[in-house]
Amino acid sequence: YCMPHWPGQIPENWRRLFFGALGHGMQIVNLFEFRPVHAAYTENHCSNPETYRTILRSFRELGQFEDIIQSGRKRPAKAALWFSETADIWGDNDGSFTAGKRTLYSAIIHQGTPLDFVVEAGNLKNYRVLFLADAHVSRRDSEAIGAWVKAGGTLFATAGAGMFDELNRPNILLRGMLGVTHVGLDAPASSFVGMVKQELPFAVPVDEIAGESDSTPVYGVRSRVKLAGAKVQLKFKSGSPALTLHTQGRGQAHYAAFLPGLTYFAPGTPKVPVDRGTTAQASAHLIPTRFDTRIAKLLQFANAANPVKCSEPLVEANIIDSSKGNVVILSNWSGGGVKALEVSLPPDLAKKKITVASGAAFKNDGNKVTLDLNVADALILR
């Protein structure tokens, strides 16, 4: 579903989401109800001429590289975010953990680190970094994750992650891997965050991470742990560890006793009235662009960096590979147009012939393409 309903969805956001979905491997798109209000048979409709123009233009652009999309696949990432049925059974994504996981995903993407989703630890061999946000991990998967870390992987766990197994027993394997012992979770109602833009601006910090000159508030959940081999990297003002590091074999395991994504997004979510207006300034369409720099540095893992590098960090770049060619999908989340965006291509793409889906003028300097990017576009390489 990439729905263009209006009022409710503005054209530029539809285009951004459409190209973003293509970059993540979409091959079938459903516009659902795409008729004016007087002809629609549901409460969903589109009565905005500009939306029709935007969709027509976007589909015509897609026609230039649809063969690549239909026969291709998104290039595998070097970092992954953990999902599992075990966590679903125990409701690990309830409460603030849901928003925490969504914002963590976005925060990692913003650091130029593409993410795959994995649901079985046996599929970790091609990854260098694994992000874990689920409290419950099966013993089988815990053993596989542990072996992967010792072989050189980097594990990054957030508040409460990996503390229990599939039977809700203490997860001795992952607690030992992380080097911490679980004491408890604090999730006060005053700090709850479900919808980020709606509730994060009004959430009361559950604690603060101490700093040399200032402190960093944390929201939603705080985990209380005792050290069991790990070393403290950061502390809460309350005195308990906020971030730890434990070396295991050739790898390492980080434990963040909070939800980094919520702290990362906090500066970009202003206290504004919640509304579903039809302009880019309405809270429903507001795109956060100011983020916590301390958390940004914390989530930067160079060994899992994107092979495509953009001069604007808030432009997301995804590669679709096919025997018929390649396409680099560019989705602009910076809140405005980007002049002279520089896109550095990996060696396997740098020598190919380049065209731009929108027809925008560009400069090709071998492995670097420079162009003006509005909302979204695609570099077609054949």
Alpha helix positions (H), 93-180: 96-110, 139-150, 172-178
What is the per-residue pLDDT for 173? 97
- Residue 8 or residue 83, greater confidence: 83
* Phi and psi angles of residue 146, each rounded to the nearest 5 degrees, phi first: -60, -45
Q: Is the pLDDT confidence value at 90 over 90? A: yes
Integer Cα distance of 351 and 132 in angstroms: 38
19-51: pLDDT as tens digits = 999 999 999 999 998 999 999 988 899 999 999
Burial label, 29 (beta-carbon count in 10 A; 0-12, 13-18, 19+): middle
Torsion of CA 26, 32, 37, 40, to 10 degrees: 160
Which residues does 226 contact at the CB level (< 8 Å), separation at least 6?
180, 181, 183
Mean confidence (pLDDT) of the chain: 95
Question: Where does the pLDDT of residue 277 fall: very low under 50, low under 70, confident under 90, or very high at 90 and above?
Answer: confident
Q: Report the share of the chain in percent with pLDDT over 70.
A: 100
Average pLDDT rounded to a whole number, residues 289-297: 96
List pLDDT tens digits, range 320-354. Answer: 999 999 999 999 999 999 999 999 999 999 999 99
Structure tokens at 225: 């742990």
Contact 315, 329 (CB under 8 A): no
Question: What's the pLDDT tens digit per position in 263-275?
Answer: 999 999 999 988 8
Strand 231-235 and strand 241-248: pairing?
antiparallel
